[in-house]
Structure 1
Amino acid sequence: METDAHLYEIFRDHPEWIADLMNEPFPEPGTFRSITIKKVERRLDGLLIPTNRRKPLRIIEFQFFPSADIYLRAVEQRIAVQRLYPDREVEVIIIFANRRLDTRPAPWTSVVRAVYLDEEMIILAQRDSNHPLPKLLAPVFEKSDAVLEATAAKVYESLGRLPKTSATQRDTLRLIYSSLLFSRFKHKTTQEITAMITSLDITKTRAGKELIAIGEARGKAKGKAEGKAEGKAEGKAEGKACTLLHILRKRFGKLSKTIVSQIEHLDYLQLEQLEDRVLDLPNLQQLSLWLRQLQQ
């Protein structure tokens, strides 16, 4: 997975899946949202806030890359959140992509809980074969390309008819799944991936329209006829820009034409830098400042 932003979107709409991930009962109704802790000037990946005030708050950090100080940052965040909510119990959980990323430094493992997403997906799938989360994240953890290709259409269809979810939430899950397939099958065209996931007319759905937009952007890039390598690179940049704009609109609402234009003109490496920061930027003003600094 190229970014943890997808995980934030998933758990924002389905906070109960965090409890499913850890095989625990969901602590009453609650919300999962990203907040900025001013004391440490860092935006949390997510804070699970149960409505029942007797239930603990849970700081969730997603870690998909090696980090020497992730435990120290997690402890700092726990202290900062405890100051914001002095009357609530606070826990902190780091969700690592895999066990290899966890250095388990003493003594912080006694106050920070670690979860390994690849292992928990296997356990959750065994415990509940119909749970959508392992299927949704299969492009990240499934080792066999053949298995992914054989099951993609069934998964895409099932995400579109999840019970107790809104049409917008179902579209978001489908878009995330499509994006993860694009990241996994970089050698495939948009048409090939679209054919892999559905034979239906997707032009009338939001997820389908955004998928088509990515394909059109790739097609235009490839059509410049400056060589296949150049066309592929431009297509990847267009696709990543489209995904990042989608995430930013989810977080901040309507974006100005200036911001949209600036992001659409970033190259692939610059888009990767933005991808690393997309959940840490607290507001549109900081985003505009960061974009201006990048152009200097």
Structure 2
Amino acid sequence: MKPALLVLNLQVPAHLLQMAQAFPDFEVIYAPEADQAEAAISEHGARVQCVCTIGATGLSAAQMQRMPELALVCAMGAGYENIDVSHAKAHGIAVGNGVGTNDECVADHAMGLLIAAVRGIVKLDKATRAGVWRSAMPLPANVSGKRLGIVGLGTIGAKIAKRAAAFDMPIGYHNRKPKEGVSYAYFDSLLELAAWADVLLVATPGGAGTRHLIDAEVLSALGEKGVLVNIARGSVVDTQALAEAVRTGRLAGAGLDVYESEPQPPQELIDLDAVVLTPHVGGWSPEAVQNSVDRFIANMRNHLDGKPLVSPV
């Protein structure tokens, strides 16, 4: 029987066909749901050599142990927080990701959420459809000139900063350490960045190290006129604290593409019209998804040819 390529994340038929055509010596097994993945590993685990997944789905040590021939795990996006990288590397399993394949798309979406949240575009749309005219509504705030604090000035954060600069937004950032060659204001304290910013935008990796990094104290520092935008991972923001801050007027609003409750909507937030919600599509566009598929294929091809991965973790 052929070795297997196990695909654990959502794919369109054309991309599954692209993978099958790229690797005709492999059987592509598609199992995007948890129960399907369990069944696929139970039936085909002995011949799975490569796994395609995403950070949110990941691949656990226990799953890897059930695939004795596994040699490669690749996340299609930049995130790999739920892949047990330590276990993989300890057992000679290569780990790659799709860093850079959807950065432009995520940065575009982040700016869309920022503008929608600051200007109240979703509320304005709803009011207009209900026949409410502008004279009956409060003035929406400017975006230009607002201070933007970026939590995690990586590749995506830098692309967001570039876009924000076109809106004449002063930019500050918080990382574990300053970035060389960056002219934006550096804050070694997240609380100080939140207190300075009008908009706090989260672009940091997910995982245990950043869980609830944005908590009640940070939201309080951001203040009653502040806006939070999160395009990173839902786990980075304390959802309950965010809901309470918006409900009590201690925060002006938020724009979120990611949630702790994924794929279920955040029940604490869905009735708050000051919060703009999208269903984790920041990195999704035809162009970005195609880039991610192409990168996965390039990583797998290099691995099979005995070459370094294009984007190793």
Per the normalisation by structure 1, the TM-score is: 0.28
Higher helix share: 1
Q: Identify which of structures 1 and 2 has the higher relative contact order when contacts are C-alpha pairs closer than 8 Å and 6+ apart.
A: 2
Higher strand share: 2
